[in-house]
Structure 1
């Protein structure tokens, strides 16, 4: 939001990402209920309402909420089956839950006065680490020490295999970093741009142009919210395929 003060025109696009306790005070501990906690809970309640209330009747001619729930369910199920294969389908409930939480957190963050929880690295890192640790543990459980075979590129000449193995290991451990920063960075950047442009709406002359620009960027952010949820989920499926696939020696 833009503010006029003694120093002139001021826009503070990053204020929207400040974590604040819901019940006053300045100290935030691990147990403090904050605006992040609130909007996470709202996302969970919204998802539950869509899938539990929207599909409770399971009519032959589906309602709008049932149609949306079935569309999302089928979309994610096909994604998991196509990327991970038949073995990966058993992990579909987790992938669906991850997709829904990120999607609804992204979309709810576009509501006026809301808080985008997935714009914080602290949130996305936890989601990414859950995937990373889960996939790694699953890989060793299913393949034992043979899981390490994914780092040994047998198709390459023997002399450069050790170098490629080091590169593959580094790439593997960088996964949660890129997985989390991609999501948080895209959402934070988009929201900051909207806030900056919207700040110029107080200038009467520029208002029509600003409103048009904000509307266009807002529509783009809706698309980004959906695409980023998809990207995070399909990368999860790719990592899951590494764990459940048969390409280990």
Structure 2
């Protein structure tokens, strides 16, 4: 009887899809303090190295006929530059380096997180919240520096009937302060959800009866995650441009 129970326990499919998001010390074990090098620290550092390698090292020669790395760097530069120009106008071009840095860091961190055995830093709200609140604080300060008290016109819908303007002002104010929360949760939530689903399908691949279907599922979801990794970086960046536009031109 004990042997049968042991066999049943051994045949039970057990996997923990959320374990991949645990922050662990790089050296030894124990609690994680603010100064402890962790897997998150490592992969954020690798994302920065990837950005430098792509934008600096691959373009250092500036060949007339660009290589693969230079072509990718030039396409990324043109893509983000056009986005900033279209959304914010000519006034926003001076802030292009900051927006380009955000986009490249997020997209590199997202793609590195798809390497088997890696750690997805952008799946952690602690990371995306720093990015989101950084954008929020910067554009808010910029809005007041550029426009003074006229920046408060962002919350006053002058085209609406006078009786509705105070109500709309409260709604606009709430939605403004919710921006950094939604900005950061959207990125972290999408990256975490996709990686958790991948882990679930990988767990099902252990069962011989459904292994072929599970493997096909992993392949399909992995392809989708490649697309999501880019789209989420794009969404974060274009929202940053929209918020920058509001700071530069706050009138409704």
Task: Give the equivalent residue in structure 2 for 1:13.
Answer: 17
Deviation (angstroms), 1:42: 0.3
Gaps of 5+ in 1: none
Task: Give the equivalent residue in structure 1 for 2:103.
Answer: 99
Task: Give the equivalent residue in structure 2 for 1:200.
Answer: 204
Equivalent pairs counted in the alignment come to 245
Deviation (angstroms), 1:88: 0.4
Question: Which of these residues, 51, 54, 61, is aligned with residue 47 of structure 1?
Answer: 51
Give the Cα–Cα distance (whole angstroms) in 2 for the partners of residues 225 and 206 of structure 1.
28
Task: Give the equivalent residue in structure 2 for 1:73.
Answer: 77
Give the Cα–Cα distance (whole angstroms) in 2 for the partners of residues 165 and 191 of structure 1.
39
RMSD of the alignment, in Å? 1.2
Give the Cα–Cα distance (whole angstroms) in 2 for the partners of residues 26 and 160 of structure 1.
56
Task: Give the equivalent residue in structure 2 for 1:189.
Answer: 193
Give the Cα–Cα distance (whole angstroms) in 2 for the partners of residues 164 and 85 of structure 1.
27
State the SS of the aligned residue for 1:186.
Answer: helix
After TM superposition, where is structure 1 displaced by more than 4 Å over at least 4 residues in a row? 4-7
1:160 matched to 2:164? The reply is yes
- The answer to whether the 8 A contact 2:39-2:119 is kept is yes
Deviation (angstroms), 1:5: 4.9
Task: Give the equivalent residue in structure 1 for 2:183.
Answer: 179
Question: Which of these residues, 138, 147, 165, is aligned with residue 143 of structure 1?
Answer: 147
State the SS of the aligned residue for 1:143.
Answer: helix
Deviation (angstroms), 1:25: 2.1
What TM-score comes out, normalization by structure 1 length?
0.96
Residues 201-242 of structure 1, C-alpha deviations (whole Å, 9 max, x = no match): 111222221111100000000000000000000000000001
State the SS of the aligned residue for 2:14.
Answer: strand
Mark the structure with the bigger radius of gyration.
2
Give the Cα–Cα distance (whole angstroms) in 1 for the partners of residues 200 and 93 of structure 2.
43
Give the Cα–Cα distance (whole angstroms) in 2 for the partners of residues 120 and 163 of structure 1.
35
Give the Cα–Cα distance (whole angstroms) in 2 for the partners of residues 12 and 236 of structure 1.
35
CA spacing shift, 1:195–1:246, aligned 2, 3 Å? closer
Give the Cα–Cα distance (whole angstroms) in 2 for the partners of residues 125 and 48 of structure 1.
23
Give the Cα–Cα distance (whole angstroms) in 1 for the partners of residues 131 and 169 of structure 2.
27
1:62 matched to 2:66? The reply is yes
Give the Cα–Cα distance (whole angstroms) in 2 for the partners of residues 170 and 124 of structure 1.
21
Task: Give the equivalent residue in structure 2 for 1:227.
Answer: 231
Task: Give the equivalent residue in structure 1 for 2:3.
Answer: none
